[in-house]
Amino acid sequence: MPENLARIHKLLRQQAAIASFGSFALSEADLHKVLTEAARVCASGLDVSFSKICRYRAEENDLLVEAGHGWKPGVIGNVVSRADVSSPQGRAFVTGEPSISNDLRTDTTFELPAFYAEHGIISTVDVVIPIKDNQPYGILEIDSDIQHNYDQHDIDFLTGFANVLAEAVATSARTEILQTTIQEMKTLVAEKDRLLDQKKVLAEELQHRVRNNLQLIYGMLTKQLDDTNDETGQRGLRAIARRVFTLAKVYENLLGTEMTHATDFGRYLESLCVNLAEIQDANTDHISMTCHSASVTLDLDMVTALGIIVAELVTNSYDHAFPDGNGAIVVSLIVDPDVPGRATLAVRDDGQGFAEKVGSKRHGVGLVRRLVEQIGGDIDFVSEKGTLWIITFPITTFEMGLPSAA
């Protein structure tokens, strides 16, 4: 009866050891610590002085001691045997069945490394550490310098423990893959950010150069105007200079932004109107210019076309609407929520009115109509107590840098 009671206590202690180790293994990310603790718990659970965990290496076809308990320095980290039937652990690995050697002194079938004799090892038990749907991880072995006659209960304890250890190994492998994947993703994200920063710098440099070159061309055209006495030639040069100036303002508006294919047209329009007033002749000092603009993001082609349209219509008012040199010009941009996908651009003056004549040589108005057609818009004008140009055009929304129909 006392013997049975001792056996029951031992089984309960072994079951508690498996449960405790399972909790530890699930909370510990370091596989080496998990293996080392497994070796200690196994040795304690079977009341032996030594234990070790051997990892199978496929290329070398051997078993390497990854962790252990009780061994002198030099054992852990070295190969214990070939993965074949020439050793206790090799036989267990090859057959997939537990290998029991109650007395190695009388078993001459094995080739044992020297450290078995150095530690006085007499009895061993080896079980496979399985990995589901994969090559077994290796071998769990307990070793004793005192002869033991191991029974099925001992085998069951080691087998159950090896199964728990196998899950810990598999979890560690999955975690390592996940961490590797995360690190690779971080590397890719860092590289993407580096390329985006590089692209941003190059885009800003390009914008600077384009803007500066356009301003240089504008300055050259303005200088040519001073040297040209022909009125027709002056009108042509002014028209070209005005359009170059409008393009330069597009790039000036882009500077300092991260966007490469779209910009806030409202902000650009207000800046353009201020500059259009500044570049007029001195005899326009009594003509006021005001701008009221909603904020709407448009692609650069649309912004460029609308900028030229505004420049042409505003300059047309400056040149022809106010023979006495007095008046007002108002530019407005309206986005009506009740009219989805469309915006309205209006250019109004309180001058003498405008009547478009068939065969007129005023190329600016013709250019305006062509540009409105190009952007898919509509244009109309009212000449009553001045002139009102009304341009409606489609708008798009930009989300995450990608255009989509509004």
**Paired tokens of 171:** 């979890």
d(CA 310, CA 242): 11
50: which strand partners? 143
- Give the pLDDT of residue 73: 93
- Whole-structure pTM over 0.75, yes or no? no
What's the pLDDT at 198? 74
Interatomic CA distance for residues 358 and 298, integer angstroms:
34
Tokens (6 digits) for 211: 């803007």
pLDDT in tens, the chain (406 residues): 466 666 676 777 777 878 888 788 777 888 889 899 989 989 988 889 999 999 999 999 999 999 999 999 999 999 888 999 999 999 999 999 999 998 888 888 888 889 999 999 999 999 999 887 778 999 999 999 998 888 888 888 889 888 888 888 888 777 777 788 888 888 888 888 887 777 766 666 666 666 666 666 767 767 776 777 777 777 677 667 766 776 666 666 655 554 457 788 888 898 888 888 877 766 777 899 999 998 888 888 888 889 889 988 988 898 888 988 899 999 999 988 888 889 999 999 999 887 766 555 455 688 899 999 999 999 998 988 899 999 999 987 543 333 333 3
Q: Which residue has the tokens 């610590």?
A: 33
Where helices occur in 259-335 by DSSP H, the ranges are 265-278, 300-320
At residue 206, the pLDDT reads: 61
Distance from C-alpha of 78 to C-alpha of 55, rounded to nearest angstrom: 11
At the top level of CATH, which class does the domain 2-184 belong to? alpha beta
CATH assignment of 262-405?
A: 3.30.565.10
CA distance linking residue 165 with residue 101, whole number of Å: 22
Give the domain ranges of the chain: 2-184, 262-405
pLDDT for the residue numbered 405: 38
- Strand 287-293 and strand 327-334: the pairing is parallel
Residue 217 has which token pair?
A: 């061309």
